[in-house]
Amino acid sequence: MNQRSNRLRHPGINMGHIDSATDEAAESLLFGFWIFLMSDLVLFALLFANYAAQSQHGTAGGPTPSSLFELKNPFIETMLLLASSFTIGLAALALKYRQDRARLVFWLAVTFVLGTGFIYLEVHDFVDMTSKGHGPQTSGFLSAFFLLVGMHGIHVCSGLIWLIVMMVQVFVFGLERDVKTRLMRLAIFWHMLDVVWIGIFTFVYLFGAA
Amino acid sequence: MTGEPLNYFWLGKLSLESLPFVEFIKTPNSSTAIAAFAAAAVIGGAIGIVVLLTLFGKWRVFWREWLTTLDAKKIGIMYIVLALVMLIRAVIEAAFMRAQQMLAVNREGPLSAEHFGELFTTHGTIMIFFMAMPFLIGLINVVMPLQIGARDVKFPLLNAISLALTAAGAVLVMISLVIGEFSTGGWSGYPPFTELAFNPGAGVDYWIWAVTLSSIGNTLTGINFAVTIYKLRAPGMTWFRMPLFSWTALCTSILIIFAMMPLTVATLMLALDRYAGFHFFTNALGGNMMNYANLFWLFGHPEVYIVILPAFGVFSEVFSTFSGKRLYGYHSLVFATIAITVLSFGVWLHHFFTMGQSANLNAAFGIATMLIGVPTGVKVYDWLLTMVRGRVRFTTPMLFSIMFAITFVIGGLSGVLLANPPIDFAVHNSLFLVAHFHNMLIPGTLFGMFAAYNVWFPKMFGFRLSEKWGRISFWFWSFGFYLAFMPLYALGLMGAMRRTVQWFEPQYLPWLLVAFSGAVLISLGLISQVIQLWVSIRNRDDLRAPGGDPWDGRSLEWSVSAPPPEYNFAVIPEVHDRDAFTWMKQHGISYTAPNEYQDIPMPKNSVVAPLIGFLATMLGFALTWHIWWLTIVSFLVILGTVIARSFCRDTEKIIPASQVRQEHEQWLARVKGLIPTARADETTSENQGLAEVAS
Ligand code: HEM
Ligand SMILES: [Cu+2]
């Protein structure tokens, strides 16, 4: 086993020689989590496909993507989410290389704030659209839009709850193995949400506004 | 069925008329009488269970040994019990449908059109989601970890939660018999018929939440099984030493991981349409039901392979075990299974050839569909060749398997016919189609599960099932199947459409009579199985197989006691051959004590799963009836439960090495006292689960 402990066990942060017991335990946990993410990505793939169809054929004479979307807020949201991916990366590094709880929780908290900012802007836009009469009940296109973007938003919200739980657990339990593997899973979850958002920003907003 | 709501805030849309008894008193006729009777049966059954548990003082055992357990074998058994209960209900419904169609030629039958619609919807929904799926998932839970030499699945709590979610869905379907009504939209729930505009009642909502809960449970199960097979195989268990049943379990899991999500998405979108006025599948404002059809069958076609692959795995084990021979063409069977897994994602469109895409597209999907026949054909030849020059024993599981091989080919042929778009245009939505898919599902999935039930029952409970009643049930089921479904091919070609409540063609009558007689035989088959279980439990002392190997089995699950200890293996075995246990027997190293025993960590019981199951039932019920306070409360409590559980650190218990040693040595001593059984005496009371080793 010992000579194996340095090999890469899963994509993402590996604990390697720093904490090989956690590394050992993380292997199949993270593998399982990647598979979960895969089925979650199937969810988004389907919502994208549905959006592609309904944004073309389901506008029902109402607003179309190009008449509706502005890029300012989505752009800020993108920046917030990208920054939060960076900060959760810093949290992962703090977890791996420094046994420093304060630094870890600091970066998790920054991630939380950035994520909350993202959700704030998104909800703000949703309310704004609805109050202008462009709610999800308006047309198939808008139903598909709200579902796709909203589903991503719900995922971000669950990530935020997860962040809170983890910050508490870091304080309550310290950096023990379960806490570490959970943080590792939270990190890849958060990165996946980033990837999905890049897809949304590109296909929904950039293509739509063009 | 929609009266004045009693109290909208506390009880949502519930009204007195939601109770079938009230309905019956208001408009007494045969249809409402049957509905009231069914409701009484559900209530009676529920009360009966409570009374029995109380009378025998079994609540504690029920709670400690079953509801809160995280042992995959017990979870598997609960899945199978659920499947059998639901099977009974769905077969009764099928018999009612056959009776209705037989009686309703040129006149009205006993059932109203609404009621008939509910029957085919619940029958189809139950058979797929609450019979076939729990049966095969339960079976995989029992068999797969043992077969690959693991102590448990990778995520035991998740496993229990999956069961709880599936059970919650099943409970919703049962509740719909007593409170309100079920959907009339068929098992496929096509909008726009299932949209609010045409179906404002609670029926469709019951269907949505029952199916959604079970599909989420299934997705979690798929992930769990896949990780288990990838990561927990015993040393030496390479991919190509893995028993075929475990291969099919893996492929089914992969299918589940990718294919369940489209269903969950489709039902959630339908829910948004109905609850929040979205326009995904409505007729107006840019909705498009074709999106639903695509999503549903993107799930629906892989689903048919999800339910058939584990049965293929079972047949592979049965043909080889009961022919006393190594499986013929192992590699080709593995690759055929993989090929089917991949291909099954590329054919969904054949479910709606008639719904408007171009002829070229239809042709492409038609050809892809026919291609699946190739790997399936390979499998049938492999099974036949496994029997060649084997010492074939015609036990109940083998009979089911042989009947499967013959009948499944007939169903496959009618499937290749349907894969031709021009032919499909002629028989689409007719009873020809109903005959075809029952011709796959009954001999395929159901007989596979029955064979498995007979094979692995002694592993689960330590005693065999009565062979006599097993055979009786086999003959009833087989003749019943042919009588019930072959006429439907003819009826379909004569133009009889599916889901029809009344006929105006007198020439259908003879065929409908034959089909009904088939349903009667099938019901007798089911009754024989109840008797089989009863008789076997009563005679269990004659049927005991404590040695754990009643069939001269070939894979690892037969190498341990029956029932196996909670931790499956006292010591994780080393695998040297594809037929791992046969190899051990031939090398004389079965039933040997290891040099040392070790402490075994196992998961502790947990209340989380039954709690989530209860809350999910509440959630589904509250959503169905628009009881918003309960919706919010049950959702928040589920969330709180999950978070609270993540703070719980006392989740493992250690089974000390001394206990493992004591239990194992006790069993080994018991095996020493058994007389090896020759295969000829396999079904007699001589068979105590120690097989004579062929030289
Ligand atoms: C046990 C004997 C069975 C009998 C007598 C039976 C009979 C029937 C009948 C009469 C129908 C309605 C046909 C129509 O639309 O006119 C039906 C539909 C159906 N059955 Fe069965 N069935 C049996 C077993 C099964 C099994 C084992 C499965 C699946 C594993 C199954 C799955 C279905 C499905 C999916 C439908 C379609 C429901 C719909 O129209 O939405 N059945 N069956
Ligand atoms: Cu299909």
Give the per-residue pLDDT at B166: 98
Q: Which of B70, B222, B82 is nearest to B152 (CA)?
A: B70
Tell me the residues surrounding ligand 2 (ion) with CB < 5 Å: B 301
| Ligand positioned closest to the Cα atom of B508 | 1
- The encoded tokens of residue B279 equal 């326009």
Q: What is the pLDDT of residue A66?
A: 92
Where in the sequence is the domain holding A46, given as residue range(s)? 36-54+67-209
Specify the residue with its C-alpha closest to ligand 1, atom 20.
B124
* Residue A27 domain flag: no
B272 touches chain A (CB under 8 A): yes
Output the CA B442–ligand 1 centroid distance in Å. 10
Distance CA B78, CA B86 (A): 12
Which of B233, B279, B652 would you mutate first to test chain A, the one with the most A CBs within 10 A? B279
Contact residues, chain A, for B275 at CB < 8 Å: none
Q: Can you tell me the distance from the alpha carbon of B492 to that of B410, in angstroms, rounded to the nearest whole number?
A: 16
Band (A3; pLDDT cuts 50, 70, 90): very low
The answer to whether the CB atoms of B262 and A46 lie below 8 A apart is yes
CA of B357 to the centre of ligand 2 (A): 16
Which residues does B216 contact at the CB level (< 8 Å), separation at least 6?
B165, B260, B264
- The answer to whether position A201 is within a domain reads yes
In a domain, A40, yes or no: yes
**Residues near A165 by beta carbon (within 8 Å), at least 6 away in sequence:** B643, B646
Pocket, ligand 1, Cβ cutoff 6 A: B 91, 94, 97-98, 120-121, 123-124, 127-128, 132, 186-188, 434, 438, 441-442, 445-446, 484, 498-500, 519, 522
Mean pLDDT, chain A, whole residue set: 91
How far apart are the CA of B438 and the centre of ligand 1, in A?
7
- The reply to whether A166 falls in a domain is yes
User: Per the domain annotation, does A162 fall within a domain?
Assistant: yes
Which of B 273-332 lie inside 8 A of A, CB atoms? 273, 276-280, 284-288, 291, 295, 298
- Amino acid letter for position B39: A
A124 min Cα distance to partner chain B (Å): 20
Kindly identify which residue of chain A lies nearest to residue B260, measuring between CA atoms: A39
The span from the CA of A140 to the CA of A57, in Å, is 8
Q: How far is Cα B39 from Cα B31, in angstroms, rounded to an integer?
A: 13
B260 touches chain A (CB under 8 A): yes
Query: Half-sphere exposure of residue A193, counting CA atoms within 13 Å on the CB side?
Result: 31
Considering chain A, what percentage of its residues have pLDDT values greater than 70?
A: 95
**Ligand 2 centroid – CA B351 distance (Å):** 6
Nearest-CB residue to B154 (from A28, A38, A46): A28
Classified as helix, coil or strand, B549 is: coil
Q: Are B11 and B627 in contact (CB under 8 A)?
A: yes
Pull the structure tokens for residue B669: 């001593």
- Prior bond to B563 cis, omega within 30? yes
First to last CA, chain A: 55
Instruction: Supply the pLDDT for residue A19.
Output: 77
Q: Which pLDDT does position B7 carry in this prediction?
A: 87
Query: Can you give the pLDDT at residue A2?
Result: 42
For position B695, what pLDDT does the model report? 55
ipTM for the predicted complex comes to 0.95
Spans of chain B, pLDDT less than 70: 1-2, 695
Give the number of beta-carbon pairs within 8 Å between A and B.
109
Domain count, chain A: 1
pLDDT, tens only, A151-202? 999 999 999 999 999 999 999 998 888 999 999 999 999 999 999 999 999 9
Name the residue facing B258 among A42, A50, A140 (closest C-beta): A42
Looking at residue A23, its pLDDT comes to: 79
In the 3-class helix/strand/coil scheme, how is B503-543 assigned residue by residue? ECCHHHHHHHHHHHHHHHHHHHHHHHHHHHHHHHHHCHHHH
Kind and range of the H or E element at B418? helix B396-418
- Indicate the length of chain A as a whole number: 210
- Of the residues B261, B274, B282, the best mutation for testing chain A's interface (the one with the most A CB atoms within 10 Å of its CB) is B261
**A165 chain-B contacts, CB cut-off 8 A:** 643, 646
- Tell me the best of B126, B438, B512, B527 to mutate to test the pocket of ligand 1, counting ligand atoms within 8 Å of each CB and taking the most: B438
CA–CA separation, A77 vs A27, rounded Å? 33
Predicted local distance difference test score (pLDDT) of residue A6: 55
Domain-embedded: residue A31 = no
DSSP string, B377-409: HHHHHHHHHHHTTS-----HHHHHHHHHHHHHH
- A135 → chain B, closest CA residue: B278
**A25 belongs to a structural domain:** no
**A146 chain-B contacts, CB cut-off 8 A:** 278
What gap in Å lies between CA B220 and CA B158, rounded to an integer? 7
Surface of B (627-646) touching A: CB under 8 A: 639, 643, 646
Residue with tokens 């043909």, as numbered in its chain? B319
Q: What is the CATH number of the domain that holds A137?
A: 1.20.120.80
Query: Residue B231: closest CA among chain A residues belongs to which residue?
Result: A28
Radius of gyration of chain B (CA): 25
In-domain check, residue A61: no
Nearest to B526, CA basis, from B567, B486, B484: B484
Answer yes or no: do B288 and A53 touch at CB < 8 A.
yes
Cβ separation of A140 and B272 shorter than 8 Å? no
Q: How far apart are CA B155 and CA B220, in angstroms?
A: 10
Shortest Cα–Cα distance, A132 to chain B (Å): 17
Q: Which of B616, B607, B530 is nearest to B170 (CA)?
A: B616
Residue B430 Cα to ligand 2 middle (Å): 16
Query: Going by C-beta distance under 8 Å and a sequence separation of 6 or more, which residues neighbour residue B138?
Result: B75, B76, B77, B78, B79, B80, B82, B83
Residue B203 buriedness (CB in 10 A; 0-12 / 13-18 / 19+): buried
Does A137 sit within 8 Å of B227, measured CB to CB?
no
The model carries a pTM of 0.96
| Helical axes B203-231 vs B244-276, angle rounded to 10° | 150
User: How far is residue B643 from each of residues A25, B223, B638, measured CA to CA in Å?
Assistant: 21, 21, 9
Interface test with B, best of A42, A54, A185 (most B CBs within 10 A): A42
